[in-house]
Amino acid sequence: MTTTAAPPVATVSKQSFLTSGMLIVIAIALAKLLLHCFFNNRYGYFRDEFDYIACGRHLAWGYVDQPPLVPFLTRISIGVLGDSLRSIRFVPALVSSATVVLTAMISREFGGRRFALALSAVTILVAPIYLSAGSLLTTNYLEPLLWMGCAYFVILAIKRDDPRYWLWFGIVAGIGMEEKYSIAVFGFAIVAGLLLTPQRHFLFNKWIWLGGAAAFLIFLPNLIWNLQNHWPFAELMRNIKADGRDVALSPWQYFSQQILLIHPLSAPIWITGLVALFASPRLKPYRVLGWCYVVAFTVFAVLKGKNYYLAPIYPVLLAAGAVMIETGIERSRQGWLKPAMVVVLLAAGAWLAPLIVPVLPVEQFISYMNNLPFKVPRSEHSHMAAVLPQHYADQFGWEEIVAEVAQAWSRILPDERQDCGIFAQDYGQAGAIDFLGPRYGLPPALSGHQTYFLWGPRGYSGNCLVVLDDRREVLQEMFEKVEYVGRSVDNPYALERQIPVFICKGAKFGTLTQLWPQFKKWR
């Protein structure tokens, strides 16, 4: 009698992974990556991208408006790939595509089969907020992957009844704290969810505490930096709230904008997933994730957070919803619904994609936007008058600003240039000068805005400054001679238009170092 040897476990696992529907998921993820790589150089550099590049040149364990991970990764990315638009946005595009795969993996752990995996992947592909994550270098691009990394380990800990996965949860959460502090809300919501479900027994296991310790140790360098610098991020948040900069949303408005961010046609899927986490016996063990959403939504709605703060949590709801929809279709034996849903989602995703991905020339985009049946949300009051949404408007006007500064710099005598600084009002202007200015021979800019304030006056006396975007009467109180150079060429698409530029000489205030504390602008 002969027996056939069983295939190696690793081979079986690999085959199961690929034959379960993950091949089509990987294809969808690659399509998303190619989409971003093709279109990501259509407009210009985004305001915040200048800031991350500048911070990456001044590596530290923290910055006024962010933890250190994104500037650190930006510096590595530029060192390897260069600083073109496609290059600096490649890592965000890659991470956003990885989120597609991780969402399908979560759906698979929920018991989903091929259609559920494909459907969950398509919902991530078409969601405007996740298209945005792959289109720009921002502090948001890593959030969905990190939040879902944490959720994945929560699911594994419950499904396999193995508390050791909480250690990995803590490691991912600690990395998340070095990327953006809002993941603390997710962690808090998970703990609340544990307390409200039978999974509270994990709270008495050593592994969840070891995970908490790991998260704390990874976050510790940034925590120490904040302590040493007197909690700049907390001060920034207080100032923003006091200034009333952000558009405050009611809970209903907040919820409505969630529907738009994830895509209106995807709303039935993630709402189904949320309900199923509470009501379905199949997903009952993972109810902690349902409570996690409820708690996190409540926190952000009450604290008047921006509409996209909650966006990283939706892949787990989309994954759960895809599983339940797959089950419902199979029970009804209406198989035609599967391709129909995918086609409708892809078509609807293509309809909204120009809002986030610059697939259209600007004039065509404006016509497209004005003919939409809804008004594109604006998150800050200062964005209301812009022709374009802020994420597009802030990709225009920088070349014109730097060119006008170069005109001013050309009037500075060579023997004066060593002690003549360029002072910008915000990190967008300063970062544009730092990035685009070297081609004109400009020195790095000074500013009191956000982290630029911490970098100080860098030895300039203040007796000669090129100053952007200020009023002549204010400057005349501070300098003996104020020369108006001109305004930057008007770019009608830009958020910052026609910025005035002055040459100021003969400081009346002593040294720039003495005056520097008055330039602090953390808001």
pLDDT digits (tens, 9 = 90+) for 402-417: 999 999 999 999 999 9
Predicted confidence band of residue 382 (pLDDT cuts 50, 70, 90): low
Q: Which residue has the higher pLDDT, 402 or 383?
A: 402
Q: What is the mean pLDDT of residues 205-228?
A: 97
Tell me the C-alpha distance between 387 and 366, whole Å.
8
Q: What is the mean pLDDT of residues 74-101?
A: 96
Lowest mean pLDDT among 97-101, 103-107, 139-143, 244-248: 244-248
Beta-carbon contacts of residue 94 (< 8 Å; ≥ 6 apart) = 33
Place of tokens 């400057």: 475
Q: What percent of the chain has a predicted confidence (pLDDT) above 70?
A: 94
From residue 480, give the alpha-carbon distance in Å to each of 462, 465, 473.
12, 12, 12
Tell me the C-alpha distance between 231 and 458, whole Å.
23
pLDDT score recorded for residue 373? 84
Place of tokens 């808001």: 523
| Domain spans in the chain, listed from the N-terminal domain onward | 21-355, 398-519
pLDDT score recorded for residue 155? 97
Instruction: Give per-residue pLDDT as tens, 334-355.
Output: 888 999 999 999 999 999 999 9
Phi, psi for 129 (deg, rounded to 5): -70, -30
Lowest mean pLDDT among 9-18, 260-269, 296-305, 451-460: 9-18
Instruction: Give per-residue pLDDT as tens, 441-455.
Output: 999 999 999 999 999
Q: What is the mean pLDDT of residues 174-197?
A: 96
Q: What percent of the chain has a predicted confidence (pLDDT) above 90?
A: 83
Instruction: Give per-residue pLDDT as tens, 286-331.
Output: 999 999 999 999 999 998 888 899 999 999 999 999 999 999 999 9
Predicted confidence band of residue 18 (pLDDT cuts 50, 70, 90): low
- Do 135 and 40 form a contact (C-beta atoms < 8 A)? yes
Q: What is the mean pLDDT of residues 26-52?
A: 95
